[in-house]
């Protein structure tokens, strides 16, 4: 099959969840000997990491083209989007006549069998084009906004409510329009349209996140994730305010490492506000940082989808403490493969228990690694994706 992929970020490893998922989907298509072209419609010029990722994609046999929407056009899109109630603002932002023209030209020359959209944002530039659509929602944007609405100030809630309602209608319309659509977690499918959306859970590169614990530091607690993502910032701030003072009082030698690119000012300020807190920013290897740690946490208070950070830590053999919301659709058994705590006192006590009991840390981490190896292998997940869309060629 010939597949034209349209994304609003460059697919790549060690990046945001949608970029990671898209990268593995494209590699699965290439392994199955499908022809894949990629158009990325971006709101900023490609970064060095993007350029490197594009090189890797090209080396794999994927032709890549980039369109960057000018800043003035972005402002105009957002302003005009306020008056188009059928389109979420984050989709309206990516409206581009140049991108639409490039897609139409590519369709004429490449004649793809289907269009594969990463997230719902690119749909503004393909609506009305007569080609089968496959949509990777990844997460439900409306569910994410709905959860964030409850956590934001009264001043911001109307804005989040506004975008939640628009996003939910848009997601539901697109799910019914698409030949296939996918999310990574059960809650997201239920929120969009369970009869139309398939769940393909996130995977882990278990050879990369492999649990080589030679540099293990006892008492090193880690949170890993993109720190320009609101729910991640919220999670570490919650932990520092609600849990860290008691943990550090009981065990003054403990360290809390916040590992992830683009930390906000609020996250960076935690270093001065609390003892033994480190904010790394982007690191060369998240796996190496995980392998130096003895406990991983994911105290999520909002967000949607399946948390890659949890699966990666489990794959490294770390015991993980998370919330019910953080665990989401991860089928790991609480108390056996993973620890769940929602109340600050319970979350604190779970970490203290692990700090005090090395055999519990080891056994929980070992079972976590085994769970990920059985349930979250990227190649098996990628083959499920490929098998699904190959049915379109038989219709």
Q: Is 326 exposed, middle or buried (0-12, 13-18, 19+ CB in 10 A)?
A: buried
pLDDT band (50, 70, 90) for residue 86: confident
Distance separating alpha carbons of residues 395 and 391, to the nearest angstrom: 7
Topology of the domain comprising 2-203+378-394: Rossmann fold (3.40.50)
Q: pLDDT at position 147, please? A: 78
The pTM of the full predicted model, rounded to 2 decimals, is 0.82
Q: pLDDT at position 153, please? A: 61
Neighbouring C-alpha atoms within 13 Å toward the C-beta of 250 = 12
Q: pLDDT at position 394, please? A: 63
Distances (CA, A) of 297 to 28, 113, 320: 30, 43, 6
Domain regions of the chain by residue span: 2-203+378-394, 220-375
Q: Do domains 2-203+378-394 and 220-375 have the same CATH topology?
A: yes
Radius of gyration (C-alpha) of the chain in whole angstroms: 21
pLDDT digits (tens, 9 = 90+) for 287-310: 999 999 999 999 999 876 668 889
Topology of the domain comprising 220-375: Rossmann fold (3.40.50)
Q: Is 324 exposed, middle or buried (0-12, 13-18, 19+ CB in 10 A)?
A: exposed
């Amino acid at each position: 099959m010939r597949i034209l992929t349209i994304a609003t970020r460059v697919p790549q490893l060690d990046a945001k969840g949608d970029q990671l998922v898209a990268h593995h989907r494209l590699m699965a298509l290439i392994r199955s000997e499908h022809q894949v072209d990629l158009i990325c419609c971006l709101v900023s010029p490609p970064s060095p990491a993007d350029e490197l990722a594009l090189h890797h994609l090209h080396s794999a046999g994927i032709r890549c083209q980039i369109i960057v929407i000018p800043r003035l056009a972005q402002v105009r899109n957002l302003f005009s989007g306020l008056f188009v109630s059928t389109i979420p603002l984050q989709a309206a932002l990516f409206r581009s006549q140049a991108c639409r023209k490039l897609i139409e030209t590519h369709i004429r020359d490449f004649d793809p069998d289907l269009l594969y959209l990463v997230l719902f944002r690119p749909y503004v530039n393909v609506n009305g084009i007569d080609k089968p659509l496959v949509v990777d929602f990844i997460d439900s944007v409306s569910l994410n906004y709905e959860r964030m609405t409850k956590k934001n100030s009264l001043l911001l809630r109307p804005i989040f409510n506004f975008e939640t309602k628009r996003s939910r209608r848009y997601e539901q319309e697109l799910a019914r329009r698409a030949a296939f659509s996918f999310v990574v977690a059960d809650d997201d499918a239920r929120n969009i349209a369970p009869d139309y959306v398939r769940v393909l859970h996130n995977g882990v590169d278990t050879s990369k996140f492999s649990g080589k614990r030679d540099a293990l530091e006892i008492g090193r607690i880690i949170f890993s994730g993109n720190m320009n993502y609101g729910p991640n910032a919220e999670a570490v701030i919650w932990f520092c305010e609600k849990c860290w003072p008691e943990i550090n009082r009981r065990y003054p030698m403990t360290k809390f490492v916040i590992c992830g690119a683009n930390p906000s000012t609020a996250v960076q300020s935690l270093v001065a506000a609390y003892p033994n807190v480190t904010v790394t920013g982007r690191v060369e290897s998240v796996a190496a940082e995980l392998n130096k740690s003895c406990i991983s946490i994911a105290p999520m208070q909002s967000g949607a989808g399946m948390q890659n950070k949890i699966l990666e830590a489990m794959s490294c053999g770390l015991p993980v403490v998370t919330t019910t919301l953080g665990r989401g659709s991860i089928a790991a058994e609480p108390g056996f493969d993973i620890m769940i705590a929602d109340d600050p006192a319970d979350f604190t006590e779970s970490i203290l228990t692990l700090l005090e009991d090395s055999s519990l840390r080891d056994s929980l981490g070992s079972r976590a690694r085994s769970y990920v190896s059985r349930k979250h292998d990227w190649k098996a997940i990628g083959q499920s994706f490929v098998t699904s869309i190959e049915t379109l060629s038989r219709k």
